[in-house]
Structure 1
Amino acid sequence: MNTYTSVPSGEQVVQELPWRWRVQGRIFLIGGLGFMFDAWDVTLNGILIPLLSKHWSLQAADAAWIGTANLIGMALGAFAWGTIADTIGRRKAFTATLLIFSIFTVLGAFAPDFLWFCLFRFLAGFGLGGCIPVDYALVGEFTPRKQRGRVLTAMDGWWPVGAALCGFVSAGLVAAFADWRLTMLVMVLPALLVFWVRRSVPESPLFLIRKGRRKEAAEVIDALVAATGAEQRAYSLPDPQDVPRLSAGSAWTQLRGLWQFSWKITTAAWALFFTVLLVYYLSLTWMPRILIGAGFEEYKAFVTTAGMAAVGLLGVVAAALLVERLGRKWILAVTGPLSALTLVVVALVVDIPSAAVFWLLVFGFVVQVAIPVLYAYVSELYPTELRGSGFGWASTFSRIGAGFGPLVFASFFWPPSGWPPRSRWPADWCCWPSSGWVSSPRKPSSVR
């Protein structure tokens, strides 16, 4: 192969290939399923909180650890798996995340007490936490440059699919069997199937070059060229030391590089991730219990939450159609505050079921316009060598905030905030010791 500077690099050749669904599209589908399971697991926290509150007689502040343990595990996973991928390769990290998640999800379903349950949820979250940064980076590396923005925005479409599936499937299981363990075990089999399918994804050529495996890198590139039907042409491969580490978390070196590049951009990226995703994660974590406390039956609360997530798919479509016309900043400036304001409206009408459902659907749509645009916008704020780490660190920061957010919310802001109204609190679910409030002795007749 010619190594003159006029010859394109192997990375350029991959990024200039024509889009083929059987090639790059297959990687998009397999990587997107990781997003789907990430959404399923986050949404499952909201399902488990009311179920385990009854099963183990948990107070609200204790029940919040169901979501906190899982999301903190995801935050550490988002931080650690990028570095792990640098060591063992994107392909192996790509498959290992779901395997670890599956193992500890099964153990969590059979946990003997609440402490062991939280530990297993933390470890399951650690495995799954690597999915978004690793999957996002891997799909981005194999996607042609012309389609990358649209494809990476479409990746977030898997999130409302996973969240909605969790709500609908859990509602059916609870209505039919009234067993919280089944809501966890039901997603293990498809996760293991995806783990098996992921083994067919090729290794990142950049990783192979960095490890000095230039022949294997050339084989991957040549196979991609042949599979897409592109014209064969000469290309160069850089020296291993010249290949940037594009993982989501090469620890402190990348963190220092982000802040040295621009403290303003990094501050803005972290602030956007923290605020927008905190609102969404809080809604997924607490909405089922809030609705049950307002008088919804369990399965109806789960179905409503699933509907809130499902309508988000329309939001992702709207984001993909509007992002180039209106611009990233304008969409975020409108949809971010609007999603929070919509939740305030939900709080005011939560005692009116039809109104609450309507405004929750509005919230689900608006927030899912904001999130994919946020992902695309933050990724574009950094140069190529910092794009993966910039996204990964912002994601880690948001998961930490989202992890402790439910705990703070349950301990200090709810129910003193009045959500749901005090007359509708289920008497046997919470004592609210931190706030001094005492639940009403009257239970809503519609709560089972």
Structure 2
Amino acid sequence: MSTAAPPRLTSDEVVQSLPFRWPVQGRIFIIGGLGFMFDAWDVALNGALIPAAVQEWGISRPEAALLSTANLLGMALGAIVWGTIADRVGRRRAFSLTLLIFTVFTAAGALAPSFAVLAASRFLAGIGLGGCIPVDYALIGEFTPRRVRGRVLTAMDGWWPVGAAAAFFVSAGLLAATGTWRLSLAIMILPALLVFWVRRDIPESPLFLARQGREAEARAVVDRLVEATGAPRREYVVAAAELDTRRRTGNPITAAFDQLAALWREAPRITAVSWGLFGTILLVYYLALNWMPSILQDAGLGRIAALVSGAGMALAGLIGVVVAAVLVERVGRRVLLAASAPAAGLLLVLVAVTLDDPRGAVVWLLVFGVIIQISVPVLYTYVSELYPTHLRASGFGWASTMSRVSAGVGPLLFAVAWPVMGLGASFAVALALVAAAVMAMLLLAPETAGRDLR
């Protein structure tokens, strides 16, 4: 007598084939996006704080650049720690803690009595917020159906220009009204706490639960998703807990370097390409966020006008996100990156060589804001899809770390090189680095459009 064959459909395939429903996967997208918005707000705020620090404490421009360096290096450490924690203890738990840490040290920064205390608080706040991007992208990507995953992950970056523009607009408004930068930090505390409160109800990723051997919990999450989306019920098996032998104990830093070794052992070409793309493309964007207010002020714009121009650059990025979301599945990740990333670097060079007419330079800056926000969301989508589930959060986290390191050290080096090499030549160096990273991608990394996550 023959027996019925066991179901071949896996829990991963069920989740990735569900219909997309705004009250279900869309809710996770919105909650995760709010955290991403605060990441953008915090990074862009450095551009407003640098000239404020120069004025308040009478320090030099390279000294003031240490403020951005401290914040971004804190985010680099946070991306390592939180990406690894998310791969070890779950997306949900890590998802809930990042903003709480950020809030505590942002409050400390608003009360800082000296530049050193401000820089230290920005570093510690960065450790908390640095985990948002790798954790958010891993969680949202694992809940999102395959057929819309590229568009959803690309659309996630729409939160970034909103947060960056808010940082400049709010800073300009508070500066005009009160004459102090401290409220620009303090104002972020209440909404950050609100997002932390809302995040408590996010479910754990069923892909993560399956990989950890927590079959009953994974099945419960999948069944709730099937019911909530109205999808037909089908028999399935929970994906095998293939990673039990890889689980680590010990502190997060040790585990982080265990994961780093795993990345280079199991996916060396992917890791090299991911680090190169993150380190160069995000360097170009962070240079603009951190230094454009100061550059435009030096070119003759007033302090408020320079901040508003930075806000315009960030807000123009919404157009780029829409373009990326429309094209990412049709054109593919690699083609969009190869076209948009070098173009963004070239536009910064054009900004530099047209500064004799500051208003004309602002026009090029707005175009830059559109083009760079085609590159960045596609980059995040692409790298989050390159890695398998057990390396996704940590792989993305380490790549994000490389961007924070380059963006932390880059503006400091830029502040030194700018007076020596000139603004245009300094931006041209960044363009050359982007071009090299894109060429490596085309030679070494595959296209991921339409592929199942594994």
Name the TM-score class by shorter chain: 0.7 to 0.9
CA distance in 2 between partners of 1:153 and 1:61 (Å): 35
CA distance in 1 between partners of 2:74 and 2:87 (Å): 20
Q: Which amino acid aligns with 2:417?
A: F
Q: Which amino acid aligns with 1:95?
A: S
CA distance in 2 between partners of 1:113 and 1:372 (Å): 36
Equivalent of 1:390 in 376, 379, 395: 395
Q: Which residue is equivalent to 2:442?
A: none
CA contact (8 A) 2:287 2:407 kept: yes
In the alignment, structure 1 residue 258 sits paired with structure 2 residue 263: yes
Equivalent of 1:416 in 406, 420, 439: 420
Q: Which amino acid aligns with 2:420?
A: P
CA contact (8 A) 2:73 2:123 kept: yes
1:233-261: CA deviation from partner (whole Å, max 9, x where unpaired): 33222454547989999523432333334
CA distance in 2 between partners of 1:142 and 1:244 (Å): 25
Q: Which residue is equivalent to 1:60?
A: 61
CA contact (8 A) 1:246 1:389 kept: no
Q: What's the offset of the Cα at 1:145?
A: 1.4
Q: What's the offset of the Cα at 1:209?
A: 4.5
Q: What's the offset of the Cα at 1:319?
A: 1.4
CA contact (8 A) 1:4 1:236 kept: no
Q: What's the offset of the Cα at 1:44?
A: 0.2
Q: What's the offset of the Cα at 1:383?
A: 4.2
Q: 1:130 to 1:219 in 2, by over 3 A?
A: same
Equivalent of 2:312 in 302, 307, 314: 307
Equivalent of 1:293 in 275, 294, 298: 298
SS at match of 2:420: coil
CA distance in 2 between partners of 1:214 and 1:264 (Å): 32
Q: Which amino acid aligns with 2:263?
A: L
In the alignment, structure 1 residue 316 sits paired with structure 2 residue 317: no
Q: Which amino acid aligns with 2:10?
A: S
Equivalences for 1:179-218 in 2 at 5 Å? 179-209=180-210, 213-218=214-219
CA distance in 2 between partners of 1:136 and 1:246 (Å): 21
Q: Which residue is equivalent to 2:105?
A: 104
In the alignment, structure 1 residue 177 sits paired with structure 2 residue 178: yes
Q: Which residue is equivalent to 2:96?
A: 95
Unaligned residue ranges in structure 1 (runs of 5+): 421-448
Equivalences for 1:11-410 in 2 at 5 Å? 11-209=12-210, 213-238=214-239, 240-242=241-243, 251-410=256-415
Q: 1:284 to 1:98 in 2, by over 3 A?
A: same
SS at match of 2:72: helix
CA distance in 2 between partners of 1:209 and 1:319 (Å): 32
Higher fraction of helix: 2
Q: 1:390 to 1:406 in 2, by over 3 A?
A: same
Count of matched residue pairs: 418
Q: Which residue is equivalent to 1:433?
A: none
CA contact (8 A) 1:81 1:130 kept: yes
Q: 1:199 to 1:186 in 2, by over 3 A?
A: same
Q: Which amino acid aligns with 1:414?
A: W
TM-score by length of 1: 0.87
CA distance in 2 between partners of 1:377 and 1:385 (Å): 17
1:158-210: CA deviation from partner (whole Å, max 9, x where unpaired): 11111111111111111111110111111111111111111111122344445
1:280-334: CA deviation from partner (whole Å, max 9, x where unpaired): 0011011111111222111111100010010011011111222333333332222
Unaligned residue ranges in structure 2 (runs of 5+): 425-454
CA distance in 2 between partners of 1:138 and 1:246 (Å): 19
Could you tell which deviates more after superposition, 316-325 or 162-171? 316-325
TM-score by length of 2: 0.86
CA distance in 1 between partners of 2:142 and 2:94 (Å): 15
